[in-house]
Chain A
Amino acid sequence: MSTALSSAPDARPHVDIAPMKLVIVGHVDHGKSTLIGRLLHDTGSLPEGKVEAVRAMSERRGMPMEWAFVLDALQAERDQGITIDTTQIFFKTERRPYVIIDAPGHKEFLKNMVSGAASADAAILVVDAKDGVQEQTRRHGYILHLLGLDRVVVAVNKMDLVDHDEARFRQVAEDVRHYLAGMGIVPAHILPVSARHGDGLATLSDRMPWFEGPSLLQALDELQAKPLPVELPLRFPIQDVYKFDERRILAGRIESGRIAVGDTLLFNPTNTTARVRSIEAWAVDGPVMSASAGQSIGITLDDQLFVERGHVASHRAEPPVETNVFRARIFWLGRAPLETGRRYKLKLATMEHTVEVQAIERVIDVADLSQRPADRIERNEVGEIILRARAKLAVDPFVDNPRLGRFVLIDGYDMAGGGLVSMDGFPDQRARNEPTSQNITAVEHRVTTNARWQANGHKSGVLWLTGLSGAGKSTLAVELEQALFRKGWQAYVLDGDNIRFGLSADLGFAPEDRAENIRRVGEVAALFARAGTLVITAFISPYREDRDRARSVAPELFHEVYVKADLEVCETRDPKGLYKKARKGEISEFTGISAPYEAPVSAELEVDTGSLSLAESVERLLGYVEANFGLNGRE
């Protein structure tokens, strides 16, 4: 270890340093409570009379000195012999104070462990030297990963029961290391200890001369506390708006970044901006000019915008993602399982929204990290899902900013699960069709759309074909165009060939590019339609949000057609050989394989090309067109 890190002695009394919060996890009976009790004793942290009380308690129950009783304050615990809930216990070393959150090992009590571990700075994972890695060792390890807790010390306990055998220790250490590596956790140390006898806790043990250290306390003292996310982009979720006096104060906690008087703030989801006029505070000397992550503050603005709880302020250059659909990795604590199609209340920072489980992608087996498809996630299981809200949320992918990248789900009155946000495969929906220029004025046309219809002999509009690659969109579009042309109609197909090579030549296939491509197609299609043409578009257009936006350009002219075929059918057809390439990993972000397809919920027309022949499909489309675009008296 570098000496530079520990050279300057800290002059401040150590009790004024924020305590490091420790969570102790591990399989039931692997000795967590004993380890804590002994740690408290060895650091001189027990109140007077406690050792005697524990001795008396142990004797009364006919047991040898049982250090676990230090924590077992509740009658219920002592009777069951297991710790039932999170407690918080304080101890201190020369370096700093610690708070121990005693997390239980009992299988049913995951919610308590989560409650403790979520607020912890670091974890001690206790593993029995004899039993080795067990189910809850793995489960707790996985939860640490989900909670973003990456400061982990592993204590291989009960070394006395394996005769302080080095080989056994190495084997258990290797098992733990291997499992944690699968979740990206590299433990700071893996240590042999014997908590009952105090071996390896405060000091190293003579009985394990083969271990060079450090001791558990030394290992803990080496850990660096996790600092506040001050350097991340500003996220200031509004908690409340107060008008106790003449001031209108927006109150909240800065989740990340900094804020200063004079800053221009962008508010989500309203997309309005205003400047910070003041930072308000009570009983503070002098005006406050800036504040940073972790502080609960209040601000006033120079403009009386509509702002309420759940809105998020950021700086304009670094806004959060805006979306109504995202992926999530979740852990489920609910009594009833999480199911596809069910609605829950989502709480993310100060936001609350109703969300629907659009899909359950997989359940993860924490025992071996394997995955399997499922239509429900049971209590204490971990899985990956897609959630959809009715409104747009301001979020960050968890990997970018955990503070706006994690959420809980409420089922009825109960908090039923927690999750991490991923935008993998989904685009940022932040408005791209807001005019950038302010000096735009609409020209008033003298030729009305209706006059064009009369001249053409049919109505115009947009037939928006959506479906998987290989579902038959282009084939149908071209057939329909030809059939209509023969009848003397003004019809025109927009597809990848005439858009991707020109108008969208600058775009790729990343989610954002796809969204932008579809936005352009939507705008162009609406122009054609207003010019009197019946436009047939043939794009996968996988995101519901994008199709809805295309519809919003000319809602009265828009008809969504779901060209439906199962993935298996499309993959068998594979007209362009794309599925084969995608399966080999040669094409990334391929819809249906490595990128999502969101089927229409209420398309005007559905054409099932999996069961209809091409001729039948075209027939259906023609019938629909004639019924909806024909002018009275002519058809």
Chain B
Amino acid sequence: MAEPTPIRPAGAEPHAAGSIAKPRFDSAAADPYLAARSNHFVSDAAMNHLDALEAQSVYILREAFNKFDRLGMLWSLGKDSNVMLWLAKKAFFGHIPFPAMFCDTGKKFPEMYAFQERYAVEWGLNFVRRDCPPIEEIDPTLPPAARSAARKTEALKRLIAELDLQAVIAGIRRDEEATRAKERVFSPRGENAEWDFRDQPPEFWDQFKTDFAPGTHIRVHPLLHWTELDIWLYIQREGIPLVPLYFSRDGKRYRSLGDMDITNPIKSDADTVEKIIAELRVTKVAERSGRAMDHESEDAFERLRSAGYM
């Protein structure tokens, strides 16, 4: 019989197995919890970094799907949420068993709307689009760009109420921005979608918060542990389609996509995925530097997120 092939091309063969210490029943002095030490595990090169990230995200998506009957995924049309949809197809074997939700500010780039129309059909999405409320309905004390961005928060709140959602999957990452670094994978939101960053639940051993009071909901973050570079390496490996604005035209490209009026391109000649990866390996400029709302004041973004922004 042919030798079974691993799910990913294997690298080096694993080292010889270490022996496993058996608990000692014959001595009261032996500490039954002290043993699983250093060399009981051997290395296995079958999984590389991207495999590990993918496996973890798939696990998170499956947990969310199992635990929440009424679940939706935010699809912002950006690179991260495309990766997220791709991972959902991996998790559910080609299916996406929940709606892909898009809160439309009406101010996205034309290329984004074109992308949305094509892939909502091509990927077989249960696509849900809702308009964001006008700016007049938003907290006027917020700085202008943050106030504009807050329209999405409001639209999302209404969508959660309309679909009676228990959980929303969002593609935020810890490396994007300092307040997102504080996040949990399963992050509870209060009755008004607010985030209490001072009192977050513990989260360890891949046991997530899946029990919650009526009226509250959970934000699920399957990409939390990915970096911007990981995202691009994965896009490269899997061949995931993207809005063309990420690629350089006339010496400029968008590193992060938002509304037209509050998102700026960066100087770049990177017009392929490979060149973008090369660029990211050396850059010291923050990914969201082109997003105005992050920089209006020291705590603008923190305030946005406390109020329920993604």
A-B contact count (CB 8 A): 244
Greatest chain B CB density within 10 A among A73, A281, A293 is at: A73
Instruction: Say yes or no: B35 contacts A292, CB within 8 Å.
Output: no
Q: Would you give the 0/1 interface string for A70-102, flagging 1 where the beta carbon is closer than 8 Å to chain B?
A: 000111100000001111111000000000000
Does B184 have its Cβ within 8 Å of any Cβ on chain A? Answer: yes
Does B47 have its Cβ within 8 Å of any Cβ on chain A? Answer: yes
Partner of B202, one of A48, A115, A247: A115
Q: How far is the CB of A97 from chain B (nearest CB, A)?
A: 9
Q: Summarize B's interface: helix, strand, loop or mixed.
A: loop
Partner of A415, one of B202, B284, B286: B202
Interface residues of B in 1-33 (CB under 8 A from A): 2, 4-7, 14, 17-18, 20-23, 25-28, 31-33
Q: How far is the CB of A285 from chain B (nearest CB, A)?
A: 10
Q: How far is the CB of B216 from chain A (nearest CB, A)?
A: 9
Instruction: Say yes or no: A15 contacts B285, CB within 8 Å.
Output: no
CA distance A203 to B273 in the complex (A): 37
Q: A230-B14, A413-B212 are in contact. Are A74 and B179 (CB under 8 A)?
A: yes
Instruction: Say yes or no: A420 contacts B5, CB within 8 Å.
Output: no
Does B213 have its Cβ within 8 Å of any Cβ on chain A? Answer: yes
Does A148 have its Cβ within 8 Å of any Cβ on chain B? Answer: yes
Chain A positions within 8 Å of B299 at CB level: 74-75
Partner of B28, one of A244, A296, A594: A594
Does A475 have its Cβ within 8 Å of any Cβ on chain B? Answer: no
Q: A150-B37, A415-B202 are in contact. Are A397 and B5 (CB under 8 A)?
A: no
Q: How far is the CB of A420 from chain B (nearest CB, A)?
A: 5
Instruction: Say yes or no: B181 contacts A183, CB within 8 Å.
Output: no
Q: Would you give the 0/1 interface string for B209-221, flagging 1 where the beta carbon is closer than 8 Å to chain A?
A: 1011100000000
CA distance A597 to B41 in the complex (A): 35
Instruction: Say yes or no: B285 contacts A115, CB within 8 Å.
Output: no
Chain B positions within 8 Å of A507 at CB level: none
CA distance A398 to B25 in the complex (A): 14
Partner of A297, one of B7, B28, B35: B7
Interface residues of A in 1-25 (CB under 8 A from B): 13, 15-19
Instruction: Say yes or no: A183 contacts B298, CB within 8 Å.
Output: no
Does B135 have its Cβ within 8 Å of any Cβ on chain A? Answer: no
Does A242 have its Cβ within 8 Å of any Cβ on chain B? Answer: yes
Instruction: Say yes or no: A290 contacts B4, CB within 8 Å.
Output: yes
Does B200 have its Cβ within 8 Å of any Cβ on chain A? Answer: yes
Instruction: Say yes or no: A184 contacts B37, CB within 8 Å.
Output: yes
Instruction: Say yes or no: B47 contacts A294, CB within 8 Å.
Output: yes
Q: A119-B204, A295-B55, A422-B33 are in contact. Are A283 and B7 (CB under 8 A)?
A: no
CA distance A284 to B7 in the complex (A): 8
Instruction: Say yes or no: A111 contacts B23, CB within 8 Å.
Output: no
CA distance A302 to B136 in the complex (A): 61
Q: How far is the CB of A78 from chain B (nearest CB, A)?
A: 9
CA distance A246 to B281 in the complex (A): 44
Instruction: Say yes or no: B229 contacts A15, CB within 8 Å.
Output: yes
Instruction: Say yes or no: B182 contacts A244, CB within 8 Å.
Output: no
Does B227 have its Cβ within 8 Å of any Cβ on chain A? Answer: yes
Instruction: Say yes or no: B175 contacts A90, CB within 8 Å.
Output: yes
Instruction: Say yes or no: A290 contacts B63, CB within 8 Å.
Output: no
Instruction: Say yes or no: A414 contacts B201, CB within 8 Å.
Output: yes
Interface residues of B in 268-310 (CB under 8 A from A): 281, 284-286, 298-299, 302
Does B97 have its Cβ within 8 Å of any Cβ on chain A? Answer: yes
Does B162 have its Cβ within 8 Å of any Cβ on chain A? Answer: no
In the complex formed, the residue of A with least CB distance to B47 is: A294
Q: How far is the CB of B213 from chain A (nearest CB, A)?
A: 6
Does A27 have its Cβ within 8 Å of any Cβ on chain B? Answer: no
Instruction: Say yes or no: A227 contacts B44, CB within 8 Å.
Output: yes
Greatest chain A CB density within 10 A among B4, B18, B47, B238 is at: B4
Instruction: Say yes or no: B204 contacts A418, CB within 8 Å.
Output: yes
In the complex formed, the residue of B with least CB distance to A53 is: B298
Instruction: Say yes or no: B36 contacts A282, CB within 8 Å.
Output: no
Q: How far is the CB of B186 from chain A (nearest CB, A)?
A: 10
Instruction: Say yes or no: B302 contacts A74, CB within 8 Å.
Output: yes
Q: A75-B299, A84-B198, A232-B20 are in contact. Are A115 and B184 (CB under 8 A)?
A: yes
Chain B positions within 8 Å of A407 at CB level: 207
Greatest chain A CB density within 10 A among B31, B209, B281 is at: B31
Q: A230-B14, A240-B66, A295-B51 are in contact. Are A87 and B28 (CB under 8 A)?
A: no
Instruction: Say yes or no: A75 contacts B298, CB within 8 Å.
Output: yes
How many residues of chain B get a CB closer than 8 Å to chain A's CBs?
A: 86
Does B141 have its Cβ within 8 Å of any Cβ on chain A? Answer: no
In the complex formed, the residue of A with least CB distance to B174 is: A88
Does A228 have its Cβ within 8 Å of any Cβ on chain B? Answer: yes
Instruction: Say yes or no: B34 contacts A86, CB within 8 Å.
Output: no
Q: A291-B6, A423-B23 are in contact. Are A244 and B204 (CB under 8 A)?
A: no
Instruction: Say yes or no: A13 contacts B41, CB within 8 Å.
Output: no
Interface residues of A in 260-312 (CB under 8 A from B): 260-261, 279-284, 286, 288-298, 309
CA distance A225 to B211 in the complex (A): 33
Partner of B41, one of A89, A231, A286: A231
Q: How far is the CB of B296 from chain A (nearest CB, A)?
A: 14
Does B108 have its Cβ within 8 Å of any Cβ on chain A? Answer: no
Instruction: Say yes or no: B6 contacts A292, CB within 8 Å.
Output: yes
Q: How far is the CB of A371 from chain B (nearest CB, A)?
A: 12
In the complex formed, the residue of B with least CB distance to A288 is: B7
Instruction: Say yes or no: B4 contacts A260, CB within 8 Å.
Output: yes
Instruction: Say yes or no: A239 contacts B28, CB within 8 Å.
Output: no
Q: A115-B202, A261-B4 are in contact. Are A89 and B47 (CB under 8 A)?
A: no
Does A627 have its Cβ within 8 Å of any Cβ on chain B? Answer: no
Chain A positions within 8 Å of B109 at CB level: none
Does A529 have its Cβ within 8 Å of any Cβ on chain B? Answer: no
Does B132 have its Cβ within 8 Å of any Cβ on chain A? Answer: no
CA distance A327 to B66 in the complex (A): 29
Instruction: Say yes or no: B6 contacts A290, CB within 8 Å.
Output: yes
Q: Would you give the 0/1 interface string for A558-569, flagging 1 where the beta carbon is closer than 8 Å to chain B?
A: 000000000000
Instruction: Say yes or no: B32 contacts A413, CB within 8 Å.
Output: no
Chain A positions within 8 Å of B233 at CB level: 16
Q: How far is the CB of A462 from chain B (nearest CB, A)?
A: 29
In the complex formed, the residue of B with least CB distance to A510 is: B25
Q: How far is the CB of B93 from chain A (nearest CB, A)?
A: 5
Instruction: Say yes or no: B44 contacts A150, CB within 8 Å.
Output: no
Q: Would you give the 0/1 interface string for A205-226, flagging 1 where the beta carbon is closer than 8 Å to chain B?
A: 0000000000000000000011
Q: A13-B281, A74-B182, A90-B175 are in contact. Are A239 and B62 (CB under 8 A)?
A: yes
Does B48 have its Cβ within 8 Å of any Cβ on chain A? Answer: yes
Chain A positions within 8 Å of B178 at CB level: 73-74, 87
Q: How far is the CB of B191 from chain A (nearest CB, A)?
A: 14
CA distance A19 to B95 in the complex (A): 31
Instruction: Say yes or no: A412 contacts B211, CB within 8 Å.
Output: yes
Instruction: Say yes or no: A114 contacts B66, CB within 8 Å.
Output: no
Does B52 have its Cβ within 8 Å of any Cβ on chain A? Answer: yes
Does A388 have its Cβ within 8 Å of any Cβ on chain B? Answer: no
Q: Would you give the 0/1 interface string for A414-433, flagging 1 where the beta carbon is closer than 8 Å to chain B?
A: 11001010111100000000
Does B113 have its Cβ within 8 Å of any Cβ on chain A? Answer: no
Instruction: Say yes or no: B7 contacts A295, CB within 8 Å.
Output: yes
Instruction: Say yes or no: A589 contacts B46, CB within 8 Å.
Output: no
Q: How far is the CB of B65 from chain A (nearest CB, A)?
A: 7
Q: A226-B41, A244-B93, A290-B6 are in contact. Are A333 and B202 (CB under 8 A)?
A: yes
Q: What are 28 A-B contacts defined by CB distance under 8 Å?
A: A13-B281, A17-B49, A46-B284, A47-B284, A47-B285, A75-B298, A112-B200, A115-B202, A148-B36, A150-B38, A227-B41, A228-B47, A232-B40, A242-B93, A244-B95, A245-B93, A249-B93, A251-B91, A288-B6, A290-B4, A291-B7, A292-B46, A329-B33, A399-B21, A399-B22, A406-B205, A408-B204, A408-B207
The 3 A-B residue pairs with the shortest CB-CB distance, nearest first, are A73-B178, A118-B204, A227-B43
